[in-house]
């Protein structure tokens, strides 16, 4: 019952398992803002606390895997999220814990954003954790959303150019994900090209490349936008296309906060800051 005595339907619930960004531009903070923009209730399991701004990751404290699992369980047992996304998982122990939680709770809508490094270069995923992610988490996920460097790491380090993306996406899908969105933002060109592999077919998702330095949180915002829509029952291909359009607007809406790469603005959809 709302404050005015009106009955309100409960929104879908999405859970993000990711690190905290003290600048508010990426990680858990970006995910929760994006969930809200899509009318989805956001819950979180924090994996690490970072002291960072637009210029640098200054300090990082990784939480114990048992605490990450406790947060996941607390939300899943009570609020029953219909979709879960992962971002920064930091260690092999946390990846193992999250994979076990996903299996235990029967999560079918898992979006894995395999965050390995901050945009400013700080390492956010241990080497051993990459192996565990491939072995234990990817076979459980509905959608994997790597950028080009992350895809190269998952596939063994071979360089990926634009023409290699269909083959690379298929190779990633062979690791277990039911769908793969391979993001081409790191490649050059006037068009930002992502490639969706879904049920054996590939679809290019294109958008004009925006000439801006305000790109902090782009990957988190994109995967969160997909997760929010999947939580609301939207099929993956439609969710990916809509999320691509959403994040393009969020990049265009950046406003140059700080002295480094400024954050994108997921609040544009709420008629807020942009």
Query: 130: how many CB neighbours lie within 10 A of its CB?
Result: 17
204 torsion bin: left (phi>0), alpha (psi -120 to 50), beta (else)? beta
Nearest by Cα to 181 from 266, 248, 240: 240
Confidence category of residue 146, pLDDT binned at 50, 70, 90: very high
Token representation of residue 100 = 């076990």
Confidence category of residue 270, pLDDT binned at 50, 70, 90: confident
DSSP, collapsed to helix, strand or coil, labels residue 133 as: helix
CA distance 222 to 233: 17
Query: 50: how many CB neighbours lie within 10 A of its CB?
Result: 22
Query: 16: how many CB neighbours lie within 10 A of its CB?
Result: 33
Residue 268 DSSP one-character state = G
Nearest by Cα to 139 from 95, 89, 182, 94: 95
Domains of the chain as residue ranges with CATH: 13-265 (3.40.1190.20)
Q: Residues of 254-268 as b/e, b for ≥16 C-beta within 10 angstroms?
A: beebeebbbbbbbbb
CB contact at 8 A, 175 and 154: yes
Confidence category of residue 186, pLDDT binned at 50, 70, 90: confident
Residues 109-135: tens digit of each pLDDT = 999 999 998 776 678 888 899 999 999
Confidence category of residue 273, pLDDT binned at 50, 70, 90: very low
| pLDDT in the model for residue 122 | 75
Catalytic residues: 183, 215, 217-220
Helices (H), the chain: 27-37, 65-79, 92-105, 127-132, 148-154, 165-173, 218-231, 236-252
Residues 11-53: tens digit of each pLDDT = 999 999 999 999 999 999 999 999 999 999 999 999 999 999 9
- Average pLDDT in the chain: 93
Residue keyed to tokens 């790597």: 146
Beta strand pairing status for 179-183 and 191-198?
antiparallel
């Amino acid at each position: 019952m709302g404050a005015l005595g009106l009955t309100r339907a409960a929104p879908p619930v999405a859970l993000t398992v990711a690190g905290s960004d003290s600048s508010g531009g990426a990680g858990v903070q970006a995910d929760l803002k994006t969930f809200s923009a899509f009318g989805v209730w956001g819950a979180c399991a924090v994996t690490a606390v970072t002291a960072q701004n637009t210029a640098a990751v200054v300090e990082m404290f990784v939480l114990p895997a048992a605490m990450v699992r406790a947060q996941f369980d607390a939300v899943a047992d009570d609020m029953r999220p219909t979709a879960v996304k992962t971002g920064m998982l930091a260690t092999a122990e946390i990846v193992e814990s999250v994979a076990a939680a996903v299996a235990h709770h029967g999560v079918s809508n898992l979006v894995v954003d395999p965050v390995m490094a901050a945009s400013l270069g700080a390492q956010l995923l241990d080497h051993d954790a990459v192996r565990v992610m491939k072995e234990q988490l990817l076979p459980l996920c509905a959608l994997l959303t790597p950028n080009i460097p992350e895809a190269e790491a998952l596939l063994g380090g071979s360089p990926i150019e634009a023409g290699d993306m269909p083959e690379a996406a298929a190779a990633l899908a062979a690791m277990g994900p039911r769908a793969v969105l391979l993001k081409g933002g790191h490649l050059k060109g006037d068009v930002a090209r992502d490639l969706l592999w879904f049920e054996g077919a590939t679809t290019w998702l294109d958008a004009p490349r925006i000439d801006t330095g305000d790109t902090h949180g782009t990957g988190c915002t994109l995967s969160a936008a997909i997760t929010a829509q999947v939580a609301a029952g939207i099929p993956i291909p439609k969710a990916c296309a809509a999320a691509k359009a959403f994040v393009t607007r969020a990049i265009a809406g950046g406003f140059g906060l700080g002295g480094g790469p400024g954050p994108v603005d997921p609040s544009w959809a709420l008629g807020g800051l942009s």
